Every structure is written in structure tokens, then in C-alpha cells.
């Protein structure tokens, strides 16, 4: 004989749940629609506020600076590892790759500084600033391959990267030489502009007016007596004495 399953508690739970939902079913559909609209509005406002906060944080100069510092720190760490490998590795392909990677890194830094200095001097660089990102990307890929070849004990790739690295270094040297020549021409052709001349003239005028304003006052000259009038020291004539 099978024992029937207890159904009492389940039925009690169903009745209790129905009683808790009766207030929701008794609401007017208009009220439910208004409550749903208000809830959806608050949800959209929260999503929009979160998106604006995230966007502002991403565009913050502090966050950009932090990312730049972190990227620079990673790059310096990898450069340090490559420099150690270039000193401690025995002569061979791995050491040559480490030395070439350091040369490429120095050449890239030199080109960046040279372009920035030439732009600050007002030199005409043509399409060099537009080509700089592609040169940077090519140098970054080349550095990564050279670093991997230097730090991995048994690299899978067997191709020689030295000709490609040498060609890239020659290209950067030509670009640096052209940029340096443009900077020299711009520095030689630089002349004082009219704005500088106007500023100098205004400064001199201000200095002159200030000197005149702060100078001590000068007493006006005494009036001169007429030509025939006797002076105090001149003796009187005979007629004046008789009178």
C-alpha cells in the first residue's frame, strides 16, 4: 500500500502566494502602466548616468596619464631585460638580436625628439608627421620580434632579422637627417615678426611715459624784464636823481 504524498503544506503555500498577489491584481491597469513607466525611466537615467561617468573617466587626463605611465613602465621593463640579455648572452644570433632591438629603440626615440623639436621651431616637415605613425608601428613590430628572438632560448622562427632591422635603421637615419636639415633652414630664416616689433615699441613708449610721470617737477623760468627798464643793480640816471 503506497502512502499518499502530503499535499497540505503545498496547498497552503499556494493560497498564501495568491493572497500576497491579490493587491497587485486589484490595481488599475493605468496605475500599473504608470509605475512601469516610472521604473523604466529611472532605469534609463541610471544607465545614462553610468555611461557618462565611464566616458568621463576614460577621457580624464589623469587616466590617460596613468595609462601612458603604465605603458612606459612596461616598455622600460622590457628594455631592461633586453639590455641585460645583450650583455650576458654569449656572442651569437640572440645577442645580435638584443643589440639590434636596442638600436631600433634608440633610433625611434631620436626621431620622435627630432620631429618635436623641428615642429616647435616652425620647420616645414611635409608628410613626415603623417608618416610617423606608420614608422612607429613598423618599429614596434620589429622590436617585438627582435626581443622575442633574443629572450626565447629556442625560437621557432629561423629567418634572419638583421637585414630588415638594418634597412629600418637606415630609413630612420635618412628621416632624421632630413628633419634636422629642415630645422636648420627654419632657424636660419627666422626673423622678428611685426608682433614682436609692436610689443617692443609699446614697451618703450610705456617706459618713457613712466619716466615722465615720476620725474621731479621743474620750476618755470622767471620772466625777463624789458630792454629799456633798469635793473635793480643799475644806478639811476641824473634826471631821476634830480626828481
For residue range 225-237, what is the model confidence (pLDDT) as tens digits?
A: 666 555 555 554 5
Task: Report, as an integer, the average pLDDT of 88-93.
Answer: 76
Is the predicted pLDDT of residue 28 greater than 50, yes or no?
A: yes
Mean pLDDT for the stretch of residues 121-132: 84
Q: For residue 222, what pLDDT band results from cuts at 50, 70 and 90?
A: low
Query: How confident is the prediction for the chain on average, in pLDDT?
Result: 75
Terminal alpha carbon distance of the chain: 176
pLDDT digits (tens, 9 = 90+) for 162-212: 888 889 999 999 999 998 888 888 776 665 566 677 788 888 888 888 788
The reported pLDDT for the residue numbered 69 is 76
pLDDT at position 47 is: 92
pLDDT, average across residues 18-31:
67
Winning range, highest mean pLDDT, from 53-57, 105-109, 212-216 = 105-109
Question: What burial class does residue 73 get, using C-beta atoms within 10 Å of its C-beta: 0-12 exposed, 13-18 middle, 19+ buried?
Answer: exposed
pLDDT at 45: 92
For the whole model, what pTM was predicted?
Answer: 0.50
pLDDT at 227: 61
The pLDDT confidence band at residue 13, using thresholds 50, 70 and 90, is very low
Does residue 108 carry a pLDDT above 60? yes
pLDDT at 16 over 60: no
- CB within 8 A of 161, min separation 6: which ones? 97, 100, 142, 145, 146, 149
Q: Would you say residue 91 has pLDDT above 70? A: yes
Amino acid at each position: 500500500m503506497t502512502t499518499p504524498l502530503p499535499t497540505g503544506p503545498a496547498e497552503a503555500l499556494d493560497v498564501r502566494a495568491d493572497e500576497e498577489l491579490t493587491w497587485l491584481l486589484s490595481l488599475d491597469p493605468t496605475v500599473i502602466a504608470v509605475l512601469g513607466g516610472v521604473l523604466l525611466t529611472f532605469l534609463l537615467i541610471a544607465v545614462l548616468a553610468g555611461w557618462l561617468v565611464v566616458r568621463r573617466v576614460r577621457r580624464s587626463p589623469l587616466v590617460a596619464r596613468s595609462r601612458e605611465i603604465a605603458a612606459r613602465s612596461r616598455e622600460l621593463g622590457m628594455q631592461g631585460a633586453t639590455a641585460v640579455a645583450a650583455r650576458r648572452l654569449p656572442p651569437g644570433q640572440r645577442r645580435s638580436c638584443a643589440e639590434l632591438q636596442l638600436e631600433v629603440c634608440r633610433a625611434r626615440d631620436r626621431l620622435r625628439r627630432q620631429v618635436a623639436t623641428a615642429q616647435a621651431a616652425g620647420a616645414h616637415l611635409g608628410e613626415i608627421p603623417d608618416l610617423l605613425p606608420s614608422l612607429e608601428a613598423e618599429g614596434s613590430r620589429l622590436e617585438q620580434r627582435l626581443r622575442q628572438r633574443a629572450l626565447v632560448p629556442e625560437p621557432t622562427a629561423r629567418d634572419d632579422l638583421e637585414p630588415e632591422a638594418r634597412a629600418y635603421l637606415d630609413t630612420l637615419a635618412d628621416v632624421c637627417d632630413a628633419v634636422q636639415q629642415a630645422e636648420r633652414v627654419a632657424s636660419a630664416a627666422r626673423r622678428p615678426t611685426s608682433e614682436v616689433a609692436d610689443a617692443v615699441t609699446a614697451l618703450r613708449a610705456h617706459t618713457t611715459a613712466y619716466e615722465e610721470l615720476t620725474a621731479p617737477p621743474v620750476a618755470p623760468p622767471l620772466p625777463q624784464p624789458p630792454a629799456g627798464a633798469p635793473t635793480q643793480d643799475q644806478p639811476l640816471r641824473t634826471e631821476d636823481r634830480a626828481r
